[in-house]
Amino acid sequence: MKKKLTVAILSTALLFTMGTGSALAHSPMEQEIDQLLGTRYSYGGNTPSGFDCSGFTMYVFAQLGLKLPHQSGSQFQMGSSVTRKDLRPGDLVFFNTSGRGISHVGIYIGDDKFAHSSSSRGVVINRLTEDYYAQRYVGSKRIMNDAKYEEAAGETS
């Protein structure tokens, strides 16, 4: 019962978090992320039974037909750099949480928010402007080309 209540609360939170302002609202990517909210953190995890940060991004992108390596530093080597002001939903956002380079990754979902697997809270949504993340933000990468983005966002040209 507790898990169902937690999932209901997280789903409601996602509705208010992503709902109206996100290009991903009701999109294939949003649906994947919505299903995974609340999933526990598991070091090395890359399945819905538990995720680490890069396992989470790897899994979500795999559901969209895109292959990512299972390591945040390796994911940072992919795609093209994007400035923070040019972020669009589906871009990867990277952080230095360890003091030793890229050590955390999440998926930008719009409205200055990103979904990620937090080591203390599992799969959650946070704002890039929160002090902890703002101070540790390193950069962003665009992995999806325009056609894949339109497919993931549920948009058509």
The verdict on whether 97 is a catalytic residue reads no
CB 67 within 8 A of CB 59: no
State how far the alpha carbon of 10 is from the alpha carbons of 35, 87, 120, in Å.
10, 24, 16
Contact 72, 104 (CB under 8 A): yes
78 is catalytic: no
Show the CA angle centred on residue 124, arms to residues 109 and 119, nearest 5°.
125
DSSP 8-state symbol, 40: P
Given the residues 41, 56, 116, 149, the one annotated as active site? 116
Instruction: Indicate which residue of 54, 59, 72, 104 is catalytic.
Output: 104
Could you tell me if 33 and 110 are in contact, meaning their C-beta atoms sit under 8 angstroms apart?
Answer: no
Set 18, 24, 37, 53: catalytic member: 53
DSSP code of residue 130 = S
CB atoms within 10 A of CB 132: 10
The rounded Cα 110 to chain-centroid distance in angstroms is 10
Q: Is 26 a catalytic residue?
A: no
Active site residues: 53, 104, 116
